[in-house]
A and B are shown apart, each in its own frame.
Chain A
Amino acid sequence: MATALFSRTRTVDGLRAGPLALVLALALLAALTAAVAWGSTAIAPAEVWGVVWRRLSGTAPRPGTDDLIVWQLRVPRALLAALVGAGLGLVGTAVQALVRNPLADPYLLGISNGASLGAVAALVLGAGTGGVLGLGLSGAAFAGALGTFALVWAVARRGGGFAPLRLVLAGVAIGQFLSGFTSYLVLRAGDEQQTHSVLFWLMGSLGGADWELLALPALAVPGAWLWLQARARGLNALLMGDETAAGLGVDVTRLRRELFTVTSVLTGVLVAVSGAIAFVGLMVPHVCRLLVGGDHRRLLPLSALCGALLLVVVDTVCRTAMDTHELPVGVVTSLLGAPALLYLLDRRLGSGR
């Protein structure tokens, strides 16, 4: 019997995860550099790293606008794109295992609708700083996410064991209920400027990035990744079914409960800092599964890397595509994501499964 069969190489259409992760990490580094270099003011890549190096090493920054543009505007934004993209990749992977459906969306559980309602309420009713993508808005969005989480939890728990269907039904129903309120608030918005900023936020945008805003996702995304990675085998077992997982010694109810909590908090953080960016969380895990297979020990880090890379690239496009104004990042991810999803579905159906 050939020992090659039992090495970690997938003998079907899979790639080695290690080299692939290395390539993606290098691509991410290049994309981050480009994201900071490109814009209305072009900055040489060497100068980008020069500014970053001087800031990090504590050397006095060179006077001039480049330092300000790089360090205060573009670096936080590029890092936010990477963190949000990685977070969306992770939360998508986790929700798909949680509800045992490879086509589930991280926003399926209604959390983002709650966050949106919170944010829109802050913008329209002026509870926050009003009209500005500042912390007041993020705080309101995060509070909305947590409130929705509590509501979905209460409804789902009554079914016992956080069964996939129960979670999805509770999430979708409550999410639709809340988005009704959001629509009402948008219609009620006082002026055109307010409506515009609400819609822009709802479609997802990284325009609010600054160093302060980075703190929460910088804690939440790596934290969630570590938590999920530690439970990768449990997630694998969930894919086969609850009975199988129980037979493998996984405490299914507890894992589901914790998974729901972690994905909700992470979704809340992501939506709070960037709005509801569509399709990344759905598409990235799916593509990664085609690349390296379904084992979460490889899938989780790869989804995080892929999500980060995708969102950094897309946000750079959104920022630079048009001279006069920015495109909301969610619009572009939808435009890219929907055809990509159709292609994937076609491929699955075409392969006769």
Chain B
Amino acid sequence: MRIHVEDLHVAYAGRTVVAGAQLVAAEGEITGLVGPNGSGKSTLLRTVYRHLRPTAGRVLLAGTDLRELAPARAARHIAALPQERGSDFELTVREVVAMGRTPYKRAFAGEDAGDRETVARALADAGMADQAGRRFTALSGGERQRVLLARAFAQQPDVLVLDEPTNHLDVRHQVELLALLRAARRTALVALHDLNAAASVCDRLHVLCAGTVVASGTPREVLTPALLAEVFGVRAAVVDHPLTGDPLIAFDHRTPAGAEPGAEVRA
């Protein structure tokens, strides 16, 4: 199913953070959301997984306004992986993953064989089957993210929404998590901080700046030196990745955008 964000405005803590954003996450594609800090990536995603309500505009799921769906109904289609760590309440890995069944269950309903199978498959797909009995808070950062991805799988959604899933992970775990995401072959809308990761993982990218989408297209179309200077304020060259052929952004870490290359920068 596809997600259509239409002229979305969202206020958060009294401030308009998303102001007229417009984008489409196409069926079966990984759609990336990039932009500097405070550009509205998280706020936009929070509106898609219904933590926040739009002040104007709409989010459409396969043509239906999300606000017309009951929360549990919407959660059967859209699963979220927010940037929350959870507190220590003695939950096991399996219990966290089984939460993915929440939108399907009525009050007092227990777990049936179908739920158990779905949870087992989600754990296996995220490579966490042998960790099911461990305490969630005892896991490493990379393991936790995989468990949360498994919980999203257990929700059997049509669309995955991920808010900077590789944050705070070391490189190896970043690569593993993004590989899992690609292998899942689902429609996904993902905010990413790392532009090179976005360039190799996403089918299409939307660049957010000050709450609006300022560029959309394939990574190669979008990630140009001019845009990187304008939106992110950095000097960079875009070359071909020697191993994968994806666009590779080589940042100039010495010179801020706008300054003369090689010139001394005064604070």
Which positions 18-51 of chain B face chain A at CB distance < 8 Å? 46, 49-51
B48, chain A: closest CB distance, angstroms: 9
Which positions 69-107 of chain A face chain B at CB distance < 8 Å? 96-97, 100-102
Count of A-B residue pairs with CB < 8 Å: 129
A68, chain B: closest CB distance, angstroms: 42
One digit per residue, 1 when the CB lies within 8 angstroms of any chain A CB and 0 when it does not, for chain B 83-107 equals 1111111111011100110110101
Bound: A228/B105 CA distance, A: 15
A residues near B80, Cβ cutoff 8 Å: 243-244, 246-247
A45, CB-defined interface residue at 8 Å: no
- The answer to whether A236 and B90 touch across the interface, beta carbons within 8 angstroms, is no
B250, CB-defined interface residue at 8 Å: no
Q: A231-B107, A241-B82, A353-B138 are in contact. Are A250 and B87 (CB under 8 A)?
A: no
Among B70-78, B165-173, B186-194, B231-239, the stretch that binds chain A is B70-78
- The answer to whether A295 and B102 touch across the interface, beta carbons within 8 angstroms, is no
B259, CB-defined interface residue at 8 Å: no
Among A4-12, A125-133, A141-149, A266-274, the stretch that binds chain B is A4-12
Interface size counted on chain B using CB atoms at 8 A:
52
Bound: A236/B87 CA distance, A: 11
Q: A230-B108, A233-B105, A293-B92 are in contact. Are A247 and B86 (CB under 8 A)?
A: no
Among B57-65, B116-124, B174-182, B218-226, the stretch that binds chain A is B116-124
Bound: A246/B99 CA distance, A: 12
A residues near B132, Cβ cutoff 8 Å: 5-6, 11
Bound: A297/B92 CA distance, A: 14
- The answer to whether A247 and B49 touch across the interface, beta carbons within 8 angstroms, is yes
A residues near B119, Cβ cutoff 8 Å: 6
A67, CB-defined interface residue at 8 Å: no
A1, CB-defined interface residue at 8 Å: yes
A251, CB-defined interface residue at 8 Å: yes
- The answer to whether A239 and B73 touch across the interface, beta carbons within 8 angstroms, is no
A276, CB-defined interface residue at 8 Å: no
Bound: A293/B90 CA distance, A: 5
One digit per residue, 1 when the CB lies within 8 angstroms of any chain B CB and 0 when it does not, for chain A 176-200 equals 0000000000000000000000000
Among candidates B46, B107, B134, residue contacting A12 with C-beta atoms closer than 8 Å: B134
B135 nearest in chain A by CB position: A12
- The answer to whether A249 and B87 touch across the interface, beta carbons within 8 angstroms, is no
- The answer to whether A12 and B92 touch across the interface, beta carbons within 8 angstroms, is yes
B residues near A96, Cβ cutoff 8 Å: 89
B residues near A246, Cβ cutoff 8 Å: 46, 49-51, 71, 80
B110 nearest in chain A by CB position: A297
A248, CB-defined interface residue at 8 Å: yes
A338, CB-defined interface residue at 8 Å: no
Among candidates B76, B86, B111, B138, residue contacting A241 with C-beta atoms closer than 8 Å: B86
Q: A6-B120, A243-B49 are in contact. Are A249 and B103 (CB under 8 A)?
A: yes
A264, chain B: closest CB distance, angstroms: 22
B residues near A234, Cβ cutoff 8 Å: 102
A210, CB-defined interface residue at 8 Å: no
Among candidates A10, A233, A249, residue contacting B133 with C-beta atoms closer than 8 Å: A10
A218, CB-defined interface residue at 8 Å: no
B104 nearest in chain A by CB position: A249
- The answer to whether A243 and B116 touch across the interface, beta carbons within 8 angstroms, is no
Among candidates A10, A231, A236, A242, residue contacting B99 with C-beta atoms closer than 8 Å: A236
- The answer to whether B96 and A240 touch across the interface, beta carbons within 8 angstroms, is yes
- The answer to whether A233 and B102 touch across the interface, beta carbons within 8 angstroms, is yes
**CB pairs A–B below 8 angstroms (28 shown):** A1-B120, A1-B129, A6-B120, A12-B92, A96-B89, A100-B87, A102-B87, A102-B88, A230-B107, A231-B107, A233-B99, A233-B105, A237-B102, A239-B87, A240-B86, A241-B85, A243-B51, A244-B82, A246-B46, A247-B80, A247-B161, A248-B103, A249-B71, A249-B73, A249-B76, A250-B71, A294-B89, A353-B88
Q: Nearest 9 A-B pairs (CB), nearest first?
A: A11-B133, A249-B75, A247-B80, A241-B84, A230-B107, A249-B72, A249-B103, A243-B82, A294-B89
